[in-house]
Amino acid sequence: MLAIDPTKKISFQRPIGNGDLVIVYERHDVMKAVKVCEGSELQNRFGVFKHSDWIGKPFGSKVLSNKGGFVYLLAPTPELWTLVLSHRTQILYIADISFVVSFLEVIPGCLVLESGTGSGSLTTSLARAVSPTGHVYTFDFHEQRAASAREDFEKTGLSSLITVGVRDIQGQGFPDEYCGAADSVFLDLPQPWLAIPSAAKMLKQDGVLCSFSPCIEQVQRSCETLNTSFTGDNISSPSSLPCKRRQRSKEGSNGVEKSGSLGVMARPCAEARGHTGYLTFARLKCLQ
């Protein structure tokens, strides 16, 4: 039976402790991240809140100020962290994140590569998805952004699940040490087509790639590169949203795709609402 490292287990089923990060909820549009420090205070329009009163209470507790006002102390889940984090770059929100994590098929134990890290909004959700036995390796070319992301992951208790690297993935590609080891790869780059050949080498067979782009021209260029990088001994199906796995048939009857066929297939999905960009997915397949 696989042993689970307790330091990598994400759980808020415990009392709030000194040094913990909590999301202080005033109302649905007013929240802030606060590090609990015994002896410190939080002052807002509801009064003064002593941190010492928070220690020992469970996440989700309602706490009172000296004036009788109240706030709620919520756990720093990826969803809430996305709403309160510092925006060093444009971030992905829940609508996009939920699709990405789902269609990349990220589950506990997966190894995920990401570029670029940015503000780390998606990275936190990826880390929770791979916990407790997987890992996320995320890269950003900007050294200060990478350092700030490391600090944030320390605050949210995810540093054991995330490794942040400083690297120009568009120019250098992913490190060779991950060749053939990644279950999933995510790209959020201005020129993702430059990183796709490297991403193809990183993926395991049947691994999935996702590229997030705000412009359709980026999608078109990426699909062209996918068609050349994933052909030969491999096959991919890039699309605006991932296609469901198809049953392979040697006869290819009843409209079922023949084994060994090559090319790019793209189709829109009307189910997506409220997204901020295009999601292009591709699966690495081996011809049998």
Of residues 255 and 120, more confidently modeled:
120
140 is in an annotated binding site: yes
121 is in an annotated binding site: yes
Residue 11: what pLDDT? 74
Handedness of CA 116, 144, 86, 134 (dihedral sign): positive
20 is in an annotated binding site: no
Alpha-helical runs (H) found in the chain? 78-84, 94-103, 121-130, 143-155, 169-172, 196-202, 216-229
Label residue 210 by pLDDT band (50, 70, 90): very high
Its pTM stands at: 0.80
CA dihedral angle for residue 164, residue 166, residue 172, residue 175, rounded to 10 degrees = -40
> Residue 132, preceding bond cis, omega within 30 degrees?
yes
**50-60: per-residue pLDDT in tens?**
999 999 999 99
* CB-count exposure of residue 279 (10 Å: 0-12, 13-18, 19+): buried
- Please, which residues bridge with residue 185 across strands? 113, 209
Average pLDDT, the chain: 84
**Minimum mean pLDDT range among 15-24, 108-117, 177-186, 237-246:** 237-246
Decide if pLDDT at 155 tops 60: yes
Label residue 5 by pLDDT band (50, 70, 90): low
Range picked from 84-88, 97-101, 275-279 for highest mean pLDDT: 97-101
Share of the chain above pLDDT 70, in %: 80
Is residue 131 within 8 A of residue 100, CB to CB? The reply is: no
Handedness of CA 55, 59, 62, 65 (dihedral sign): positive
Go through the domains of the chain in sequence order and give each one's CATH number: 15-76 (3.10.330.20), 81-240+275-284 (3.40.50.150)
122 is in an annotated binding site: yes
